Amino acid sequence: MGVSRVLVANRGEIAVRIIRACRSLGLQTVAAVSDADRESMAAHMADRVVCIGPARSTESYLNVGALVVAAQGTGADALHPGYGFLAESAELAVACAVFGITFVGPSPEHIRQLGNKLEAREMVRNLGVPTLPGSRKVHTIEEAKARAAEIGYPILFKAASGGGGRGIKTVSEPGALPATFEMASAEARAAFGDDTLYVERYVPDARHIEVQVLGDRFGHAVHLGERDCSLQRRYQKVVEEAPAACVPPAVREEIRVAGATVAAKLGYESAGTIEFIYDQDSERFYFLEMNTRIQVEHPVTEMLTGLDLVGLQLAIADGGTLPVSQSDVVFQGHAIECRVTAESTEDGFRPSPGRITDWEPPRAPGVRVDTHCYPGYVVPPFYDSLLAKLIVHGADRAEALARMREALASFVVRGVDTTIPFLRDLLNDPDFEAGNVNTRWIEEKKLGRA
């Protein structure tokens, strides 16, 4: 063992974040970039840069062969996949193992098992953690009707091979099931090449609560508390915060313990996130899925615990022991993250790529900005629209809210449209301040879509 040079197999802000973590551990970095990212901040920061293919991600960031060749050609002995792209690809993890490259993440077997939502639900249920009532794969309308009747309406159709919120449809009563079944399977076929669906109980008044966990190969596992990611648009998170101040403390502790239990009993290695649906009516929580990678919103937990999650991933991957025990993990104050994306909120969230002429992120105590943008940077149209994550920390939620409002007010971006005006409006909303929100709040209350 002994990792010394890390191939950063990602782009954007997370590539920058990984390079910073490597630097602080004294590790060399190689940025794997597409043609479109040759002038990126990650390319400028890394010790070496290797081009892995054309702009289109299927030929670059999603190309397992190109990444492995890039790692070998540059003498990298480890690969960090970031999030998105191939971060949850068992194939990449296996390829790394075959070629003697340390994959910074869990075992290929855990990636595969937990990536299959139905298998993951079964595994977790067997560990004694509550899961949402749901079916196995359903192939016909008749089968779907029978399962939905057992589970109870309202229900959701989800794509068995799905992700990212695509192919999810709600059915509120039996009459609407056949048409929705057809629509959901057509969408699943188009998006994932597999029209198989499954049925799950739909929780209308839900919060999305997730638990950050860390484990090492020696069987140690801890939780780093929960995050409330209920503010979503099209199943994409918009604002995240920790702790989940709106969940009763006793339930919050139960959710944290459930997360730690899953990580410990699975013998999970590296950073992972266990997502739960919290039903505000019944005050019950249910396992949803586990993400076997670093999350976009990991800085919220870093601000609260003072830990460097990416640094810990690297140390664990290098064969290290988890340097913290559960009693070492201390939660201080309150943290909030807003995702700033290049979209025109006045124009139906139309993508807004192009040249950033002015870029003035806020600087203040308790404010952190994770970004790959700079004045003059051209935001390419090929990838997702995340420009920056704005994270604030305060002694309590009120102070964190005040700091976030101030940070958003002073964040200047010109040249591309951003979601900053929309985020300012969200943060000033009395419902958000009071915690009267759920996963549908943005779409229903803020955008007026039922």
Beta-bridge mates of residue 236: 233
3-class SS of residue 338: strand
Tell me how far the alpha carbon of residue 353 is from its chain's centroid.
22
Any idea which residue has 């079916």 for tokens? 135
Piece of the chain touching another protein by CB under 8 A; list 198-206, 208-216, 379-387, 427-435? 379-387
3-state percent helix, strand, coil for the chain, nearest multiple of 5: 35, 30, 35
Catalytic residue among 121, 227, 293, 397: 293
- Please tell me what DSSP assigns to residue 297: T
Which of helix, strand or coil describes residue 53?
strand
146's enclosing H/E stretch is helix 141-151
Choices 69-77, 289-297, 382-390, 428-436 (CB under 8 A): range interacting with another protein: 382-390
- For the segment 385-444, give every residue that binds another protein (CB under 8 A): 385
Rounded to a whole number of angstroms, the minimum distance from the CB of residue 207 to another protein is 26
Q: What is the signed CA dihedral for 122, 124, 128, 130, rounded to 10 degrees?
A: -90
Amino acid 362 reads P
Q: Does 342 bind another protein (CB under 8 A)?
A: yes
Alpha helices of 267-373 — where are they, by DSSP H? 298-305, 309-317
Contacting another protein (CB under 8 A), which of 130, 323, 380, 435? 380
* Binding of another protein by 143 (CB under 8 A): no
| Neighbour count for residue 427 (Cβ, 10 Å) | 20
Binder of another protein out of 136, 139, 350, 449 (CB under 8 A): 350
Question: Cβ of residue 412: shortest distance to another protein, in angstroms?
Answer: 21
CB of 360 to another protein, least distance (A): 22
Instruction: Kindly state the number of chain residues that form the binding site for another protein, as judged by CB under 8 A.
Output: 16
Cis status, amide bond into 361, omega within 30 of 0: no
Q: Please state the closest distance from residue 337 (CB atom) to another protein, in A.
A: 20
Q: Collect all residues with Cβ–Cβ distance below 8 Å to 192 and sequence separation of at least 6.
A: 159, 161, 162, 163, 166, 167
State which residue, 329 or 420, has the beta carbon closest to another protein.
420
192 binds another protein (CB under 8 A): no
In the list 135, 291, 313, 352, the residue contacting another protein (rule: CB under 8 A) is 352
Residue 330 CB: number of other CB atoms within 10 A? 11
User: Which residue's CB is nearer to another protein, number 267 or number 351?
Assistant: 351
Of 171-179, 181-189, 326-334, 381-389, which segment contacts another protein by CB under 8 A? 381-389
Q: Which of 35, 194, 384, 433 binds another protein (CB under 8 A)?
A: 384
Q: Which residues lie closer than 8 Å to 88 by C-beta, 6 or more apart?
A: 111, 115, 291, 292, 293
Tell me which DSSP letter residue 131 carries: B
Please report how close the Cβ of residue 17 comes to another protein at its closest, in angstroms: 20
Q: Per CB under 8 A, does 382 bind another protein?
A: yes
293 is catalytic: yes
Report 23-62 residues binding another protein (CB under 8 A). Answer: 55-56
| Residues catalogued as catalytic | 293
- Residue ranges binding another protein (CB under 8 A): 55-56, 342-343, 349-354, 380-385
